[in-house]
Amino acid sequence: MLSEPIRVLVTGAAGQIAYSLLYSIGNGSVFGKDQPIVLVLLDITPMMGVLDGVLMELQDCALPLLKDVIATDKEEVAFKDLDVAVLVGSMPRREGMERKDLLKANVKIFKSQGAALDKYAKKSVKVIVVGNPANTNCLTASKSAPSIPKENFSCLTRLDHNRAKSQIALKLGVTADDVKNVIIWGNHSSTQYPDVNHAKVKLHGKEVGVYEALKDDSWLKGDFITTVQQRGAAVIKARKLSSAMSAAKAIADHIRDIWFGTPEGEFVSMGVISDGNSYGIPDDLLYSFPVVIKNKTWKFVEGLPINDFSREKMDITAKELAEEKETAFEFLSSA
């Protein structure tokens, strides 16, 4: 017996991340094989021709779970009665653009989309922000949608999380599945802190700590961290395009975990509102934490011991987020 269809919006739907994402949403690998979907695609007016092509391809996939696909450039159509909103579209950073200009352009977009969520979407909507700067864009959207619980908003740091997992796996010659409980703390930027102090790896049938398994502290505190922090730039340099396949996979992982919960004994990283955390991160920041999820509700992983090395890194990225927030909120009040 199939359930009622859910309405899922993807913004920036004519872009390359969406192109890698839409098929996995439509084929049941995100919301399950018995969950019909009405898929809503939003992009800006100049992209509507391209979006038509995406629409044709989705039709041509002949996916049984796709009950309807709606392509639009109108927020009042796109945000209506949503169960899930995946906000991928944002203003990309152009060459020579200051981060401040980038923030300003995106505040405008995410203020408008937050207001549309507030006005048209279900109050239970789950909102996932991917478009960069993701943490601050997510906070902007949440502030602009006061009637939707702030816990319903999260931003993607799962790509960084997966990158960290795979770097450890490659170094140890195991598969990424054998590595669990890595953490991305903070901002989805080059100040993020990939932390493996609490991570475990399955080696020869038993679980050991990553530090113990690798016996290479200088790599873990040096090149490992910078590799994960700068992986996005490395992909752009090599491919001349930003990460799309891996970003789409991370979005699918992130949403699936919200929908179905995290496995017993495992936690994942996502950017969430920092209120009430026990790690000394100021309230009212959208910061990436380790979380566990059950019944579509996340909780902080509590009680992880934080050493001095980690503390410093966690504070650096919190400081950057506080500064971003301040800049964004100046624009928010005037936007």
Question: Is 99 marked as binding a ligand?
Answer: yes
Which structure tokens are listed for 215? 């016996």
Question: Is 135 marked as binding a ligand?
Answer: no
How, if at all, do strands 153-155 and 126-129 pair? parallel
pLDDT in the model for residue 304:
98
Class of domain 6-155 as given by CATH: alpha beta
Confidence band for 47, pLDDT divided at 50, 70 and 90: very high
> Of 181, 178, 207, whose CA–CA distance to 194 is shortest?
181
d(CA 188, CA 86): 16
* Helix (H) or strand (E) run with residue 310 in it: helix 308-334
Query: Does 94 score more than 80 pLDDT?
Result: no
- The CA-CA-CA angle for residues 124, 86, 71, to 5°, reads 105
pLDDT in the model for residue 335:
59
Query: Does 144 score more than 70 pLDDT?
Result: yes
pLDDT in the model for residue 1:
67
Average pLDDT over residues 79-86: 98
pLDDT in the model for residue 92:
86
Question: Is 130 marked as binding a ligand?
Answer: yes
Question: Is 132 marked as binding a ligand?
Answer: yes
Domain limits of the chain? Answer: 6-155, 157-323
pLDDT in tens, 175-197: 999 999 999 999 999 999 999 99
pLDDT in the model for residue 333:
83
Average pLDDT over residues 45-74: 98
Confidence band for 101, pLDDT divided at 50, 70 and 90: confident
pLDDT in tens, 244-280: 999 999 999 999 999 999 999 999 999 999 999 999 9
The per-residue pLDDT of the chain, averaged, comes to: 96
Predicted model pTM: 0.97
pLDDT in the model for residue 96:
77
d(CA 76, CA 72): 10
pLDDT in the model for residue 320:
97
Catalytic residue among 161, 188, 198, 254: 188
Query: Does 202 score more than 90 pLDDT?
Result: yes
> Of 116, 117, 105, 22, whose CA–CA distance to 69 is shortest?
22
198 is catalytic: no
Question: Is 106 marked as binding a ligand?
Answer: yes
Query: Does 13 score more than 90 pLDDT?
Result: yes
Q: Domain 157-323 adopts which CATH fold?
A: L-2-Hydroxyisocaproate Dehydrogenase; Chain A, domain 2 (3.90.110)
